[in-house]
Amino acid sequence: MSSIINSVDDFEQLFSDHYSKLCAAADAVVKNEEEAEDLVQNFFIKVWTSRDTIKITFSFQAYAHKAIYLQALNHLRSKARAMELVDLQGAEELAGEYIDDASLIEKESAYKLLLDEIEVAISSLPAKSQQIFRMAHYQKMKHLLIADELGISVNTVKVQMSRAYKEIRKRLKTKDIPYFIIFFYPTLF
């Protein structure tokens, strides 16, 4: 397949044909015009720097819209993680003003008990399931990476995760702990 960008003129034509539409698409996701423009500009920089190796199987427009959409989602995820950290710091400062020591100690105690129950549920899993679950939740590893590292198939990872969730759900249900809390467990530290 030949490159879609054979000259600076080709690149400039792609840029002028698609820039405003891609900005609008990115803005629809990130809801911030400047951030949308940054994402699109970064996309075009990547297109230019990889012009010799880029492989587009359909149209440039479809490729570009999909790439911008995925970049916008990744941008929102990164922004959300940063906001979580800022919100936690701000919440701790505000909490200090409104929570008395006795209430704080009581909540910390309940929180530690909850973490202990979750850890007991995870520890009750078979060794391989535990390992896969901890890699996915603590280390935030994707299924493909876990499979590669352990030398197993991605399907095996998915099956082990499904079994782990089922077992944890069963154990937490007997303790009257809402199952959805497990999704926040890695971020509770």
Q: Give which of 188, 125, 189, 187 is closest to 162, Cα–Cα.
A: 125
8-80, CATH topology level: Rna Polymerase Sigma Factor; Chain: A (1.10.1740)
From the number of C-beta atoms within 10 Å of its C-beta (0-12, 13-18, 19+), residue 78 rates as exposed
* Residue 171 pLDDT: 76
Check whether 124 has a pLDDT greater than 80: yes
Confidence of residue 90 (pLDDT cuts 50, 70, 90): low
Question: What is the dihedral angle through the alpha carbons of 26, 30, 36, 38, rounded to the nearest 10 degrees?
Answer: -130
Question: What is the dihedral angle through the alpha carbons of 26, 32, 38, 43, rounded to the nearest 10 degrees?
Answer: -10
Give me the residue label for tokens 């704080």.
104
| Cβ–Cβ < 8 Å for 36, 27 | yes
Q: Taking the CA of residue 52 as centre, how many other CA atoms within 13 Å lie in the half-sphere pointing to its CB?
A: 1
Mean pLDDT for the chain?
77
How far apart are the C-alpha atoms of 189 and 178, rounded to whole Å? 18
pTM: 0.44
Check whether 151 has a pLDDT greater than 90: yes
Q: Which two tokens stand for residue 187?
A: 């971020």
Q: Where do the domains of the chain lie? A: 8-80, 100-183
* CATH architecture type of domain 100-183: Orthogonal Bundle (1.10)
Mean pLDDT confidence for 150-173? 86
All residues at 6 or more sequence positions from 177 whose CB lies less than 8 Å from its CB, including other chains = 114, 117, 118
